Amino acid sequence: MGIAVLIVGYVGTLVGYESYEQHKLLSAWDTSHPSVNDAQPVRSDVFVTRHPHLADGESIFKLGVPAINFTAVVTEGADRGILSSGPGHDDHTDYPGEGGLILIGNHNGFSSSWNDVHSGDTVTLDTAYGRYFYKINQRYIRDGSDRSYIDHPKDGSGEVVELVTCWPLWQGAFAPQRLVFEAVPVAPQ
Which CATH superfamily groups domain 2-186?
Answer: Sortase (2.40.260.10)
Domains of the chain by residue range: 2-186
What dihedral do alpha carbons 117, 64, 135, 172 form, nearest 10°? -40
Spatial CA neighbour of 7 closest among 168, 167, 177, 173 = 173
- The Cα–Cα gap between 165 and 8 comes to 21
- The Cα–Cα gap between 179 and 108 comes to 9
Higher pLDDT pick, 2 / 62? 62
What rounded mean pLDDT belongs to the chain? 83
Higher pLDDT pick, 113 / 49? 113
Q: What average pLDDT score do residues 140-157 get?
A: 75
Predicted TM-score of the model (pTM): 0.83
